[in-house]
Amino acid sequence: MTKKTKLSIENPDNFLSDNKEILKQYLKFKQSVEYKNSPAYKIQSLLKEFNSVSGYYDIFIPAMKKLSNSYAEYYRQLEIANEKLLEQYPEIEKLNN
């Protein structure tokens, strides 16, 4: 994991504050017709579907958290960072469906 990624997860408030403009641009792009018609959007949709039906979310992730305390802690930090992201940008929730 890169140092920048690690810092963003460990201190999401700073990351969100420091990257406010980039995040706004990213959200605008993800909501655009151009993105929704792009191969990247199609690939992301296929990956989400595959992860859902293959048990990645329901079986693999819970098993990893049981097997690895460090992964469980990392996942917990991701959940906290995600909550803070959704507090500031609730429209992201719509992008995930």
Q: Does residue 76 carry a pLDDT above 90?
A: yes
With beta carbons less than 8 A apart as the criterion, state whether 13 and 85 touch.
no
What distance in Å separates the CA atoms of residue 9 and residue 14, rounded to the nearest whole number?
Answer: 10
Distance from the first to the final alpha carbon of the chain = 27
Convert the pLDDT of each residue in 17-53 to its tens digit.
Answer: 999 999 999 999 999 999 999 999 999 999 999 999 9
Planar angle of CA 45, 26, 73, nearest 5 degrees: 70
d(CA 28, CA 59): 33
The pTM for the full model equals 0.81
Give pLDDT, residue 66: 98
Across all residues in the chain, what is the average pLDDT?
93
